[in-house]
Structure formats: structure tokens, C-alpha cells
Amino acid sequence: MLETLTNPLPFDQFRKDVESNTIAKIIGWADHEIYVPFIRYTSGEEVAFLFQERLLCHVNASYMAGAKQILSSTETYTHLKEIVIKPLTLGELFCTANFHKLGINIFGEDHRLNLGSHAMCVLAEFGLYDDKENEESLHSITVFSFENDDCTALLPKGAVQLWLPSRLSATLPWFKKQEQALLIFDDRLDWTNPRFPPLPDNAKRLSQLPTMAQKSFQRMQLSPLPIKRDTPQAPVVPAAIYHDSLLAEEKVKSFSRLLARVDKEIVPKAINIKLNVTHPSARSSAADKADTWELQVSFISPRRGNIIFTSELVDTALCKANAALPNTLGTQCASHQLRQRIVKHIAWMLFQHGRDLNFLFSEFFFDLQGLLPCSITNGSGKFQPDYTDNRFPCLACFSFSQHQVPVMLLGTDKDNYICMPLASKALPETDAPRQIPHRSDLIDRSTGYVELKRRTDKLLIPKSLIDFPEHWYQGERISNKMVIDQFISRMEYKELPENTDQPIKDESGSPMLWLMGCVLVMALLIMWDFLL
């Protein structure tokens, strides 16, 4: 006997709203229910029943109490397994169909409504925010997924969501989008847990949202239903553990998986990494132009995106003195040693992004800052990186008083680490430890604060002030997949900027080139035979 629908779908009105393509109206139907067939196995496991129609699989559903249409459409399959009819909300059905790339047929007495990808994306990717004046505004929603060091997640899907007004232009810079974005978190969870990522100041509580927005938020937390039985998975081959004498092995399990993916999906072979060395551009100051080069790293990732990092000024003498770096102007390929450092540098930067719930607004093209020789901010010294020292780079914590500042360790200088802050911080002078070398160089005399500039400063920090908090490495982080996908999509260029040469492409072993070569040889032989 079928369960009674508690909130049945008024089909005629729903069809009109779908045909009118009014997004806000379609979203309003998310909580209404329809009947959907499932296959029930002897184990009790249930999966959605799919129908093959041309090249696309569909889920058949019905708003009718008897659900005869979907029952009759399953009759030829009843010999396989038990088929049951269950009520689902449109939100649950559309979430499943959108995730698995399925079509949906909703049957009536003598008609059906075929729903394509647009309608499903509406319910799966958009939400309504009703303000105090009861005005509804449409938002596109990015749902965060999380993982930790043992590939599980304490934070459920959708515990954090980024809402952007849909009226914003796709070409609007991300820092402009941030001004109008809503970063919303589920405050039914205990965010005092140190293993959770820290909540930024701009985060908004779910409980503070208007009723309609809360419903949209909770709809985004739905998980797609299974469409096939769970089958025993082949054991996952764990990523090779990255070894760093500064970090215990249990702290780098999660990083090791990310490092393996960066090595495979982002950074190409050394021969295809382009180092473009030029004289400083016109925008550089006269002081910057003296005895300096401008070096830019770019490449085409294995996923075929053009990746271009911002150029850095580098001391000419230090660049020439480092065997892993260019010693002349022009375009050169990276050495294997430099490639390994680039892989680790990007991986640690992305690892830190995974603890930052505002990471979608990060300027990823600055993520190689700190790779090259540089000047030390507190003092007059220069830093020459040792690319053979496998301890670096490494994420760490500059810890003192009640302050914790994430830093990238770049190298050592006697009893100090060379550190690059990964967050900007203004600290009262009284809180700045006295043992910092050349401490006065960091103090802004107009404010009396120590100003730490993100990815700009290169600091000498005593090793005694550097810590490696366990939860930074083993706690909840935005999933590797989400961080890498966002990095690549944001760094990709359809066309490279003017005055930037095309990165070197890896054409080795291309079957197309081989075929073209064969065709050319045959054409030459035919012409030669004709001439003879």
C-alpha cells in the first residue's frame, strides 16, 4: 500500500511554472512530494529505479495517488527484484537527478512532463533569500565539502555554503563579489571544536536567516540517492607518505594525498614549466630596477589549463648564483629540482587554503610567492633558498601570547626560520616577542602596531616561536577535490595575456603528431613517384 503524500504536487500549476522558466517559482515547489519507484534487494538495500530512454537515463515519477503509470512502466522488470513506490520531495529527486546526470519524467493520467537539466540545476544550485521587506532575491550557492586526515568528515555536506546574488556579472572581480557574498554556516554544529576550520568574521549563522533562506540552505544539504547497489570497492592505494623531519608522519597523511594530486593534476613535467626572465617592467620603481630581474612562472597543467603566476622581482646576483634558477634573460625550462619545489609550494598553499572558509576569494596567482630568493623584511639580509633541503617549504604556526599566525617556512638562518606570513595581521607592539631579530623594523611608528603582510613579508623568526598545531594538519579541511578544482578553474585562461609567450606544450608521444607525420611522408612519396 502506498504512503499518502503529505504535501502533494499540484501538477498543472507546477507545469505552468516550469514552462514559464521562472526560477523563483520553480524553487517554491521543492518541498512538494511525488511518487518514485525503487528497487529493493533481499538485503533491504534500495536504489532509485532508472529507465533507459535513447541516450539518457530517466527517473519516472508520478503525482497521482494510484501511481499506475510508473507501476505499469516497471512491469517488465518485476522478475528482477522487488519494486516499491515511495514518496520523495522534488528537492530530493532533483538533487539525485542533477548529481547523477539523469532526466526526470513526471506522469499524469494521460500526459507526462519531461524535465531537463535546467529545471534540475535550479533546485540543486539556487536558493531564495527573503529579506526583512519580504523581497526575494535569487542566489547561486556553492556547497562546501570537507575531509580530514583519514578521508572521513566530521562536517557534513553543506555545513558551510557561499551564497552569491545571481544578478552579479560572471566577469565581476572576486574581491567585488566578496562584498555582496553571504558565507553561511550551520550553527547547529559545535564550531568550538578545534578540528573545525576557523569561522571568518563575515560568516553568518543559519539561525539568523529568514525562513525561506533556511529552507534553501537545508535543501542544499541533501545527499543524492543511490542509483546502483554498493559494490565492493577495490582497495585504495594510499598516497606515498611525504617525509619531512619537521613534521611527524601522522601530521602529513592528509597533505600527502594533496601533494600527490598536485603532482599529477596541476604541475606538468619540468620541461614544460616556463621561466620567463626579463628586465623589470615600467611599473617597477627605479630602486627595484637596479640589479634585479623579473621572473614569471607559467605552464599548461595536465588538465589543459593555462596557469600563469604573478611575476616576482629577484636579485640578479642571487638568481645567477642558484644552480636551479636561470642565469640569463629569456625563456627557459625548469630543472627537475625546481619542479619538485614548485609542486610542494603549491601543495602547501592549497593545504592552507583548505583551512580558510574564504578561500574562494583567494588570489591564487600569488601562490608561488616565496619560491625565489628575496630580501628579509626585518634586517638587511638576503635569503637564498636551498632547493635541495626537503624540509622546505612547510606550513607552520608563528605562535606567541594569544596570537597564532599561519606561516610558510622557507628555510633557516642560524637559530631562525625564514617565514612568509599566510595571513595579514596587525599586532600591538607590546605583544610582539622581544627575541624577534630587528624587531623595530616590523613596527609601524604611526600606529604602534607590528604589521605582518600576507605573502609579502619574509621574516626572521626564532625557531622557539614556531609551532606545528596538530589540528592544523589532521583536522577538517575543505576537500582536496574542491580546492584543486577551484584553483584550476580560477587560474585557467582562455587566452594568455598579451606580451606573454605561450607556455611550452608537451607534445611528446602525441598520436596525432605521429599520424600527421605518416601522412606527410606518404604525400611526399606519391609526389616523388608522380614526378618520376
DSSP states along 379-399: SS-EE---TT-TT-SEEEEEE
Q: Give me the residue label for grid cell 605583544.
A: 431
Per residue in 15-25, pLDDT tens?
998 888 888 88
**Greater pLDDT, 203 or 241:** 203
Q: What whole-number distance in Å separates Cα of residue 259 and Cα of residue 229?
A: 32
pLDDT band with cut points at 50, 70 and 90 for residue 156? very high
pLDDT given for residue 342 in this prediction: 98
Q: Give me the residue label for grid cell 613535467.
A: 269
What is each CA distance from 174 to 126, 185, 203, 298, 305, in whole angstroms? 19, 20, 17, 22, 19
pLDDT given for residue 151 in this prediction: 74
**Is residue 29's pLDDT more than 70?**
yes
Strands 103-107 and 56-62: parallel
Average pLDDT of the segment spanning 374-378: 93
Where does 44-121 show beta strands of DSSP type E? Answer: 46-48, 51-53, 56-62, 82-89, 103-107, 112-115
**Cα pseudo-dihedral 436, 440, 441, 447, rounded to 10:** 120
Q: How many CA atoms lie within 13 A of 177 on its CB side?
A: 20
**Greater pLDDT, 341 or 504:** 341
Question: Which residues face 332 on adjacent strands?
Answer: 275
Per residue in 71-89, pLDDT tens?
555 555 555 568 888 899 9
The H-or-E segment that residue 509 falls in is: none
pLDDT given for residue 525 in this prediction: 45
pLDDT given for residue 503 in this prediction: 43
The H-or-E segment that residue 491 falls in is: helix 480-491
**Is residue 440's pLDDT more than 80?**
yes
pLDDT band with cut points at 50, 70 and 90 for residue 121? confident
Q: What whole-number distance in Å separates Cα of residue 208 and Cα of residue 202?
A: 13
**Greater pLDDT, 321 or 305:** 321
Q: Of all residues in the chain, what percent are helix, strand and coil, respectively (each to 5)?
A: 30, 25, 40
**Is residue 514's pLDDT more than 50?**
no
pLDDT band with cut points at 50, 70 and 90 for residue 501? very low
**Is residue 500's pLDDT more than 50?**
no
Cell of 342: 614548485
Average pLDDT of the segment spanning 368-388: 93
Listed residue (362, 30, 69, 41) closest to 220, CA to CA: 30
**Is residue 39's pLDDT more than 50?**
yes
**Is residue 507's pLDDT more than 50?**
no
Average pLDDT of the segment spanning 435-442: 90
Q: Give me the phi and psi of 253, to 5 degrees please.
A: -60, -50
Query: DSSP states of 464-488 as a string?
Result: GGEE--HHHHHS-EE-HHHHHHHHH
Listed residue (61, 50, 43) closest to 2, CA to CA: 61
Per residue in 181-227, pLDDT tens?
899 999 999 999 999 999 999 899 999 999 989 999 999 999 999 88
Cell of 341: 619545489
SS3 415: coil
